[in-house]
Amino acid sequence: MIDKSVYDKLITYQDILTDKFRLEEQMDDLPKIIASKNEVLLRAKKSYLTKHKRFKQLEENVHSLEKKINELRLEKSEYEEKINLVKTQKEYEAIDRTLKTNKEREDEISIQIMQDRRMTDDLRSDIEDYELNLKQQEEEISKEQDRINIELDKIKKELDVIKKKEAEIVPEIGDDFRYKFEKIVKNKEGKGIVAITGGYCTGCFLVLPPEYINKVRSNDKIYFCPNCSRTLYFDESPDNIFTINDEEMDDSDFFSFDE
C-alpha cells in the first residue's frame, strides 16, 4: 500500500521540476543571443581587416610609385643637361629617345598613382565607416552582455530557491522512481502525474478499463498510463466517482494503444 499523500508530493515535485526546467532553459538560451551577435561582429571584423590590409598595400604601392617618379624626374634633368653637351646627331637622338621613353613611363606611373589614390580614398572612408560600425556593435554587445548577466543572476537566485525546495522533497521520493518521473515531466510538457477523471487518463485521454482504474484506486502501488507513461492517480472528487460506470467501459480502447 502506498500513502495517498505521495500523489500530492509528486504534484508538488512536478511543479518544482517544471519551474526548474523552465529556468534552466532560459539560462541556456540567454547566452545564445550574444553568441549570434558575436558571430556577426567577428565577420565584420574579418572583412574590416581585409579592407585594412588592402588599404595598406595600396598606400605602400603609391609610396613606391612616387619614389619611382622622383627617380625618373631626376634622370630627366640629368639627360636634359647632357643633351646640351652632345657633339653628334647620333648622341642627340639617343638621349632624345631616352627622354621620350622616360616621359611615357612617368605618365604611366602618374595615372597609376592617381588610380591608386582614388582607391585608397574610397577605402579610407569605407574603413572609417567600418570602425564606427564595429565600435557601435561592440558597445551594443557589451550592453547586452550586462543585461544578460543581470538576468542570469536573477535566474540563478530563483534556481537556488527551487533547488532548495527540490532537495527538501527529493528524500521523500525514491531515487529510481524520481529519475523516471523527472524524465516524464521533462518529455511530457511538465505533466508527469495526471488524474483519472471520467474513466480516462487526463494526460493523453486514453480510456482506461475499469479493472485498471480500480487497481489505481486501490493504491497498492504507483501505476502509470500504459499509453503516455504518466503517473496516474484516481480523482476522488464525488463527481468523478459518480461518472464511473463499469458497463459503459470498453476494454478494446485500452488495448488498441501501443505501450
CB of 222 to Zn ion, least distance (A): 14
User: How many residues bind to Zn ion according to rule CB under 5 A?
Assistant: 7
Judged by beta carbon, residue 23 or residue 232, the one nearer Zn ion is 232
Q: In Å, how far are 9, 17, 206, 212 from 102, measured between CA atoms?
A: 98, 86, 97, 106
Binding residues among 198-257 for Zn ion as defined by CB under 5 A:
201, 203-204, 206, 225, 227-228
Judged by beta carbon, residue 216 or residue 225, the one nearer Zn ion is 225
CB of 186 to Zn ion, least distance (A): 16
Binding-residue pattern over the window 187 to 206 for Zn ion, x denoting contact by CB under 5 A: --------------x-xx-x
Contacts by residues 245-250 (CB-CB < 8 Å, ≥ 24 positions apart): 245/199, 246/210, 248/199, 249/199, 249/207, 249/209, 249/210, 250/207
Judged by beta carbon, residue 177 or residue 257, the one nearer Zn ion is 257
**CB-based contacts of 44: which residues, under 8 Å, 6+ apart?**
130, 133, 134, 137
CB of 250 to Zn ion, least distance (A): 17
Dist CA 127 CA 134 (whole Å): 10
Listed residue (207, 231, 197) closest to 8, CA to CA: 231
CB of 198 to Zn ion, least distance (A): 13
Element (H, E) at 197: strand 193-197
23 lines the binding site for Zn ion (CB under 5 A): no
Judged by beta carbon, residue 123 or residue 184, the one nearer Zn ion is 184
CB of 230 to Zn ion, least distance (A): 5
Residue 184 contacts residue 231 (beta carbons within 8 Å): yes
For cell 627622354, the residue is 99
Judged by beta carbon, residue 83 or residue 198, the one nearer Zn ion is 198
Chain positions contacting Zn ion, by CB under 5 A? 201, 203-204, 206, 225, 227-228
